[in-house]
């Protein structure tokens, strides 16, 4: 189980948002996840993940070394490639049987 004492969504006044942001200040780690209610191709999923990574730079107190970025969607093509690049990837059926 992933343990992040602070868990919720994040947004700023410019309209940037992250669906799920988990932060563990003591452990110095963070988790940013986007949730999409649709099927994604690999390139679209990768673009969303890269944009999420960019948005994390706007959040105070998050450092890159212990940051994990992930995505949840109905289906994700190329899931294995994304995971091999260090992203966390879940299909909805894995979370809701």
CB atoms within 10 A of CB 13: 5
Provide the domain limits for residue 53: 6-95
Quick check: 83 pLDDT over 80? Answer: yes
pLDDT of residue 2: 63
39 found inside a domain: yes
Q: Two tokens at 30?
A: 């963070």
CATH classification of the domain holding 32? 3.40.1350.10
Tens of pLDDT, residues 23-43: 998 888 999 999 999 999 999
Per-residue pLDDT tens digits for 44-71: 999 999 999 999 999 987 877 789 999 9
Query: What is the C-alpha separation between 79 and 89, in angstroms, rounded?
Result: 6
Residue 21 falls inside a structural domain: yes
How many distinct structural domains can be found in the chain?
A: 1
Q: How far apart are CA 30 and CA 53, in angstroms?
A: 11
- Does residue 55 belong to any structural domain of this protein? yes
């Amino acid at each position: 189980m992933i343990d992040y004492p602070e868990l919720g969504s994040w947004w700023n006044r410019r309209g940037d948002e992250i669906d799920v942001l988990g932060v563990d200040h003591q452990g110095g780690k963070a988790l940013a996840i986007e949730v999409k209610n649709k099927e994604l191709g690999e390139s679209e999923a990768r673009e969303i993940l890269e944009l999420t990574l960019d948005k994390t730079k706007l959040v105070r107190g998050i450092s890159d070394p212990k940051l994990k970025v992930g995505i949840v969607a109905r289906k994700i093509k190329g899931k294995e490639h994304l995971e091999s690049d260090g992203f966390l990837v879940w299909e909805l059926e894995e979370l809701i049987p």
